[in-house]
Structure 1
Amino acid sequence: MMKNGSRKSLILFLLTIGLIPCLHAQNNSQALQKEVSGAGITKDPNDTTKMTWKTGGLYNLTFNQAALSNWAAGGDNSALSLNTLLNLYAFYVDGRRSWDNFLTLAYGIANTTSLGTRKTDDRINLTSKYGYDLGKKWYLSGLLDFRSQFAPGYNYPTGKPRVFTSDWLAPAYVLLSIGMDYKPTSNFDVFLSPATARELIVNNDSLAAVGAFGVDSGKKSRFEFGAYASVNYTSNLSKTATYVGRLDLFSDYTKNPQNIALYMTNVLNVKVNSSISMNLALTLIYDDKIRSVKADGTPGGPALQLQEVLGIGLAYKFAKKVRKPAAPPTPPPPAAPPK
């Protein structure tokens, strides 16, 4: 029988390999946002047509398999993992108006002989931001953000049955914000909003009954109104290394406004060649309304959530640009009739 340490090592290895393409896709998506935000959609200066839309995205599908039979060094008899990611974007620029849209769909599973099937990734994230250029690098902007997942999620306490923790629309976060967007450079922007509405949805009876994710017991939603800030930064550290960071902060005016909810992502990408890159990702999440779960399955208090992944992966990128045809030239006036 395989020891717990070997099981954990195998699962960690499979999850790391499976998550690599997701990190690579996130890095490329944020780099594409940098290309458009702040400086407008770039084009040939000699081109007289007006570009309005730029669309495209990234798609990844990763499959890993391993099998052992009478293997003296030990290990699970069989291990499989499958991860898929679809990352789409649509950017619109017309004069002073801009509209940025992102959609991320991700799902992954891993199966081993000893542990069965477990989910490794499950994300739905739609972000849409519309802005009007006021001049001097300031934009009046409105932002809509939606986050949820596809399938049920579980915790796996040591020596105990799995515990149901999440599901489709349980939770789901809907954020609607209006504020000012400051873009001093093409690689740095700050969005500030004193008026942000956030709706937390827990559309599952059993989870709502215990007040999961901060809703009142028996309630399936919680409305929050507060202040919101989002900072995005991209830096080309060298010809082959790029850093992309994002920091989101939210303060709920209606309950403990001093307790700031935090969401932060950091991605370091080092390009090996045209199709292979190395990624180091660090994600931090803190929300005082979310209770942690201890290793024995008992509930704990609020805690900083931390995820770090290092790996090498492949990604495929596609893009399309839509241009508005230039107005046809004005026809010359008709010739005067002969006298």
Structure 2
Amino acid sequence: MKKLLTVLILLAAFSAKAQDQTIKDLSKDTKVTIKKPEDTIQKEWRKGGLYSFNLSQGSLTNWAAGGDKFSLAVSSILNLYSFYKKDKHSWDNTLDFNLGYVNTTSLGSRKNDDRIDLLSIYGRSVAPKWNVSGLLNFRSQLFKGYTYANDIKSLASDFLSPGYLLASIGMDYKPGEHFSLFMSPAAARWVFVKNDSLSAKGLYGVEPGKHSRSEFGAFVSANYFNEFNKTVSYKARLDLFSNYKHNPEKIDVFMTNVLLLKLSKLLSASWNVDLIYDDDVRLFGNDGKSPAVQLKSLVGIGLQAKF
């Protein structure tokens, strides 16, 4: 009887030990993941931005090939965005601010970039990929700008001279998170020329002596933004406007492109290309009174901050 009890006690001890080991093995193999609320709740707002600062300098002394003794170029690009999405409602906001100056011994200081551009689109989904939307866009520059026809310095722009404010209701097509196409047959646009000397010349389609002009027409805006990876990002926009009131066949074109390459933690390279055509901007040609395609290309290497 004692032997039997001993055997039973040994078997019970062995079984308990085996079960304890099994439980330990299961504990190692089983991982319980506890999700945090922020992991399961979709974010309603996406906010961020990017700032790029580029600086280049050159100097020449007894240089046989010729050139300016001193040159300095400074440019900066600031892109901010704030996107809202909840249920059938969306609200996309972007702010672009570009500023650049160049200084050379022979030409002096000149502005080579200056643009402030605010775009806001509110939409309500009515079908997959389609929204009924309202758009508001403001575009101008902050500082005075000049043209240098035949080396003669002439004032060409100032804050709100010109300035463009556009309000429109239409359809917004969004096939994905990177691209959107806004189309409207009814858009109101106001052109401002607040500088008195520019207003007196009747520039930018505003009658001489007046400071604003109202237009009504069709408007299309295509927007693309993509951060392909941690190194490369690209942003593009194309706006087309046809004024029903005056020469509707002469379409105003505004296009901007920004390509950013991150070379290191702080160092980056940027390429900014802008194209504008407005038949009412008559500052070019031999007589300085003709329209023309305006093209600007800026390449730089400098510092970049992403937030």
TM-score range, shorter chain: 0.7 to 0.9
Contact persistence 2:216–2:245 (CA under 8 A): yes
Residue 131 (structure 1) shift: 1.1
Query: What is the rounded CA distance, in whole Å, between the counterparts of 2:48 and 2:257 in structure 1?
Result: 23
Please, what TM-score do these two structures have when normalized by structure 1? 0.71
Please tell me whether residue 262 in structure 1 is matched to residue 246 in structure 2.
Answer: no
CA separation of 1:212/1:280 partners in 2, compared to 1, >3 Å: closer, same or farther? same
Please tell me whether residue 117 in structure 1 is matched to residue 109 in structure 2.
Answer: yes
Query: What is the rounded CA distance, in whole Å, between the counterparts of 1:97 and 1:87 in structure 2?
Result: 24
Number of aligned residue pairs: give it: 272
Mapping of residues 219-234 of structure 1, within 5 Å: 219-233=210-224
Residue 77 (structure 1) shift: 2.4
Query: What is the rounded CA distance, in whole Å, between the counterparts of 1:215 and 1:141 in structure 2?
Result: 29
- Report the counterpart of residue 302 of structure 1 in structure 2: 291
CA separation of 1:246/1:45 partners in 2, compared to 1, >3 Å: closer, same or farther? farther
Query: What is the rounded CA distance, in whole Å, between the counterparts of 2:112 and 2:80 in structure 1?
Result: 21
**Deviations 1:5-56 (CA, angstroms, capped at 9, x unpaired):** xxxxxxxxxxxxxxxxxxxxxxxxxxxxxxxxxxxxxxx9982334222222
SS of 1:246's partner is: strand
2:47 maps to which of 36, 41, 55: 55
Please tell me whether residue 132 in structure 1 is matched to residue 132 in structure 2.
Answer: no
1:85 partner letter: I
Query: What is the rounded CA distance, in whole Å, between the counterparts of 2:207 and 2:142 in structure 1?
Result: 24
Query: What is the rounded CA distance, in whole Å, between the counterparts of 2:259 and 2:53 in structure 1?
Result: 21
Residue 314 (structure 1) shift: 4.5
Higher alpha-carbon deviation: 143-152 or 67-76: 67-76
Residue 95 (structure 1) shift: 1.8
- Report the counterpart of residue 17 of structure 1 in structure 2: none
- Report the counterpart of residue 239 of structure 2 in structure 1: 248
1:98 partner letter: S
Residue 151 (structure 1) shift: 0.9
Query: What is the rounded CA distance, in whole Å, between the counterparts of 1:173 and 1:93 in structure 2?
Result: 28
2:306 maps to which of 293, 317, 322: 317
Query: What is the rounded CA distance, in whole Å, between the counterparts of 2:77 and 2:269 in structure 1?
Result: 18
CA separation of 1:236/1:110 partners in 2, compared to 1, >3 Å: closer, same or farther? closer
Please tell me whether residue 288 in structure 1 is matched to residue 286 in structure 2.
Answer: no
Residue 239 (structure 1) shift: 11
Alignment root-mean-square deviation, CA: 2.8
1:193 partner letter: S
- Report the counterpart of residue 14 of structure 2 in structure 1: none
Mapping of residues 172-191 of structure 1, within 5 Å: 172-191=163-182
Unaligned runs of 5+ in 2: 1-35
SS of 2:197's partner is: helix
1:131 partner letter: G
CA separation of 1:166/1:303 partners in 2, compared to 1, >3 Å: closer, same or farther? same
Higher alpha-carbon deviation: 67-76 or 214-223: 67-76
CA separation of 1:258/1:305 partners in 2, compared to 1, >3 Å: closer, same or farther? same
1:87 maps to which of 79, 91, 95: 79
Unaligned runs of 5+ in 1: 1-43, 319-339
Please, what TM-score do these two structures have when normalized by structure 2? 0.77
Query: What is the rounded CA distance, in whole Å, between the counterparts of 1:166 and 1:198 in structure 2?
Result: 19
CA separation of 1:255/1:185 partners in 2, compared to 1, >3 Å: closer, same or farther? same
Rg: which structure is higher? 2
- Report the counterpart of residue 41 of structure 1 in structure 2: none
- Report the counterpart of residue 15 of structure 2 in structure 1: none
Percent sequence identity over aligned pairs: 50
SS of 1:156's partner is: strand
- Report the counterpart of residue 5 of structure 2 in structure 1: none
1:65 maps to which of 34, 49, 57: 57
Residue 150 (structure 1) shift: 1.0
Query: What is the rounded CA distance, in whole Å, between the counterparts of 1:266 and 1:105 in structure 2?
Result: 13
- Report the counterpart of residue 17 of structure 2 in structure 1: none
Residue 307 (structure 1) shift: 3.0
Query: What is the rounded CA distance, in whole Å, between the counterparts of 1:243 and 1:253 in structure 2?
Result: 33
CA separation of 1:61/1:308 partners in 2, compared to 1, >3 Å: closer, same or farther? closer
2:205 partner letter: G
2:244 partner letter: Y
